[in-house]
Every structure is written in C-alpha cells, then in structure tokens.
Structure 1
Amino acid sequence: MKHSAITLILCSSAFVTGLAAASPIKIADVTGSWVNVTPGAPVVSGLNTDTIKWGNSNPDYQSGYAFLGNAAPAFHATEGEEFSLGEFMHFNHPIGGTPLTSAELKVTAMVNLDGVSQILESIFQFDHWETVNGPAAGETCANGESRESTINQYGCADRVTLALNESSSSYYAIGSKKYYLDITGFFQDGELAHELWTQERTTSTSLLSGIIRSSALEVPEPSSFALVALSLLGFFSRKMWRRG
C-alpha cells in the first residue's frame, strides 16, 4: 500500500497520450467541500463546506476533517503522474457520542486539456474508524502497535481510508477517451498510502495526491429498434440486388 519517497509533481512535460505533444494539461482553482456524511446532522456539522466537525459540544475539542485546495498559480501535470491537490487535515480528539463513519469530499478543479478548459468534479470517499483509545492490558491498538509507540501515546490512533467514487465523478471526453481526476492517496512523512493512521489529541496534516487518468469511452450498444432496422435494410438490399 505504501511507496517511499514519491515526488508530488507540480509541473511536467507535454501531455502526449491521445493529444498533441505540445498540449500539456493545466490545472487551476482546486477547491473542495464535504457533500455527504454518515451519520448526518446534527451529529456531524459543516456539510457543504471545507470543514466538518463531530463529537464534543466544545468546538475547540471536536474531531473533524478539513480540506484546503491547492491555491498555487495554475500548474502543469502529466497523465499518470501524481501532483498535490491540497492539504487534508484530521482534527483528532477523544469524543463522546456517535462518531463519523464516512464522508464524501467533492473536489473541483479547472482543467485545460488540448487548449480547452473544463471543470472536473471528483467525489472521494473517506471511511473513518474511531478506534477504542484504551485497549485491555497486554493488547495492542487497532493499528497493531502498542500503547507505548509514538503514534499511540495519547490513545490509540484512528484510521482514515479513501477511494474514488468514479460513478459520481465527471470526466473530460476527447476522441475515444475520457479523462478524469483520480486520487492516489495521502502523502505524509515521505510516504504515500491509501490509509492514514492519525494520533489522538493532534491535528494530522497530509497532502492529497491527485492524478489525471484516462480510459476508453464506452460505445453504447445499438438499441433493439436499430438492430431490427439494420436487419430489414439488409433484407431489402439483398432483394433489390437479386431483382437487378
């Protein structure tokens, strides 16, 4: 799951797969908002903003997620190479009551492909595991490490995992391909991973690593009516040819 020492690409060479060699991908205006949470309000607040909170009634000690999109000037990217979408933060505090179990982040970016700009929206699914802070004597925390390890020193670490919800994401069609904004994981402490273990009583910050991918456009199958029409056309064509 993890890859060491990956460089997040903020500029790149020309984009050549399916496009002219002199036409790079340019990305700008990356923003994000949390569009779906489980459980919903009032357990989790902040829906449709860049920050959601849950847990204690005191807002200074609530747990939460936040996303800050890449505010740098427009940058170039290459299909299949990672770049920074922005910062993900987990405000991890011991909570009372019902915890978050999942949240969806809608990331919006202005993407220029082959000289034409289009807004791409991608929905990323975050699954949250609010672990038990104090295991029984002799047991390890959920991450497999003891309470004496650094990440568990204030209570057992919680886990955040993520994936792309492609069915809810938009794409950019060029020719026979579609291009879409995917995510490769959290980039933290020189490593990239799809799951993130976060320390209690701490704000953990990592970069969300994005990537432009492409796949073939699905060709719709002809309808039954069209098949019948083609069959009839072939039948009458053969009949006319025989008469001639």
Structure 2
Amino acid sequence: MFTRFAFAGAALLLTTAAANAASLTSVGGSWTSASAEGGSVYDLGGVGSDRIIWGNPTRGTGPSGYGFAGADTPLDDITQGTRFSLGTFTHYNNAIATTGSRTKGQQASIDSAQLRVDYSLNFEGEARSYSSTFDFAHDETRNQDAVCANGANGTGINAGGCADKVTLLRNDSLSDTFRIGDRLYTLDITGLGIDDAIWTAEGKQTSAGLTGVFTYVGDVAPIPLPAGGALLLGALGGLGLLRRRKTA
C-alpha cells in the first residue's frame, strides 16, 4: 500500500511540473519605419532590420542609432510566476553633425521610429505567437547649446555635450488568457521598461528590457460535449443495445 501511494504522489508531482513550465522558442525585432528630421528624403540605414542608424560622425565613434537584441533562444524551463527576458532596446548616442553637407544614408537625425517585436512561446507542446509594437519620438540635441534641453551644458549627464532624449509614445503591453486542454494560463508582457523618456549622455548608450511572465492559473472543468453530440452518442448507444438484443 505504501508503494502504491508513493507512486501516485510522484505522478502528481510530474503533472504539476509539466503544467508550470514554458519555453521561449523565438524572438526577433525589426524597425519597420522611421522619419528623418525636417522631412529629409535621405535613406535611414537599417529600416527592416534589428538596428537603425543615422548621422555623420564627428568624433570617429560611429553614427547614432537604435537597436533591439532578442533573447537567446530556445529559452527552456521558464517557470510560472518568474519574469523572463524577451530582449533589449538600446539607444546609441554618438556625436554627429547636425548641419552641413550630408551624403545619402547620413541623416542629421530622426524624428521618430517604430519597432515591432515578434515572439513565440511553447506551452505543453502547443506553440503560440505574438507581436508587440513600440513607437519612439527622438530629440537629437545640439552639443553647442549653452543650455541643454535638460540642464546646463558641461555638467552631469551633459558633461560631454547635450544628452539626447528618447520618448516612448506607444508601449504595447500584452495580456492573454488561454486554455490548453484542461489547464488555464495567463501571459503578461509588460512592455519596455521606459515610463516616459530616457536621456542618453553623449558617447554613451541606454538600454531598456522587454520582459514577460506567465502564470498557470489552474485546472478547469472539461469542455462539455455539445447537446447535439450528446444526443448522437445516446442514439449510437441505443443502436448498439438494440443490435445486441437482436443478436441474442
């Protein structure tokens, strides 16, 4: 009797563990659009890829840009109630020329950009796919200004020139409740960790993470058979009984 009880307990533990784990199977981001400062018709390098760049560098450090790096996948054994990373947005702020001649692909700045992130998760062998969209407004400040947009030049975050501002206009969170078999789950994506705006010092970079959490809510009652199906089964059962009687 003890052996039978122990085996039953082990089976219950295995069932619970299976219900409380998920896998992140894929994640990728792409910059779907961007507008250049002053309505410029210059191409914005990187549209359609995971990094977008602009500007003619003045200090040999490369252009400015936005990037998104998806988390390494597959990411297995994600436990319920534990926050996991889907990827990271980064603003790269380098010194670029805001005036003067420019060649194709060397914008002085951008006004806005849009990022789309697609990701897929696996719950108990069932794949589910989602997407989130993020809209950014960009303020490329002039390093020559005596007073920067967020304080005096030459001090604090403006020590190397005026810091640039990135404002998140649209921050797609996601909340999904779904059922797999007799189990109920919720998935919550909180969006990028930017409440309003971020300031990035000249020559530096600032990052914000995209995270999610899933929760196993519990078992639910089996989906009842539709009335028509129940009647059909009853009819088939009756035919079977009638056939047995005739055979007897």
* Pair 1:121-2:131 in alignment: yes
Distance 1:82 1:116, change over 3 A: same
Tell me how large the CA RMSD over aligned residues is: 3.5
User: Alignment partner for residue 24 of structure 2, among 22, 27, 30?
Assistant: 27
Per-residue CA deviation, residues 28-64 of structure 1 (Å, 9 max, x unaligned), is 3221111111238634221110111112178963211
Number of aligned residue pairs = 181
Segments of 5+ residues of structure 2 without an aligned counterpart are 1-16, 100-107, 216-248
In the aligned structure 2, how far is the partner of 1:78 from the partner of 1:34?
31
Write the mapping of 1:125-164 to structure 2, written as runs, cut at 5 A. Answer: 125-136=135-146, 139=147, 141-143=148-150, 145-162=151-168, 163-164=170-171
**Cα contact 1:182–1:211 (8 A) shared by 2:** yes
Q: Match for residue 87 of structure 1?
A: 88
Write the mapping of 1:41-60 to structure 2, written as runs, cut at 5 A. Answer: 42-56=42-56
SS in 1 for 2:127: strand
What amino acid maps onto 1:123 in structure 2?
T
SS in 2 for 1:93: coil
Distance 1:44 1:78, change over 3 A: farther
TM-score where L is the length of structure 2: 0.59
SS in 1 for 2:56: coil
**Cα contact 1:67–1:88 (8 A) shared by 2:** yes
User: Alignment partner for residue 201 of structure 1, among 189, 200, 203?
Assistant: 203
SS in 1 for 2:52: strand
Q: Match for residue 189 of structure 1?
A: none
**Cα contact 1:26–1:77 (8 A) shared by 2:** no
In the aligned structure 1, how far is the partner of 2:144 from the partner of 2:75?
46
What amino acid maps onto 1:183 in structure 2?
G
SS in 2 for 1:44: coil
Instruction: Please state how far the C-alpha of 1:152 moved relative to its aligned partner.
Output: 0.9
In the aligned structure 2, how far is the partner of 1:84 from the partner of 1:179?
13
Q: Match for residue 99 of structure 1?
A: 109
Instruction: Please state how far the C-alpha of 1:206 moved relative to its aligned partner.
Output: 2.0
Taking every aligned residue pair, what percent have the same amino acid on both sides? Answer: 33
In the aligned structure 1, how far is the partner of 2:214 from the partner of 2:192?
11
Higher helix share: 2
Segments of 5+ residues of structure 1 without an aligned counterpart are 1-19, 187-192, 215-244
In the aligned structure 1, how far is the partner of 2:69 from the partner of 2:192?
17
In the aligned structure 2, how far is the partner of 1:55 from the partner of 1:125?
20
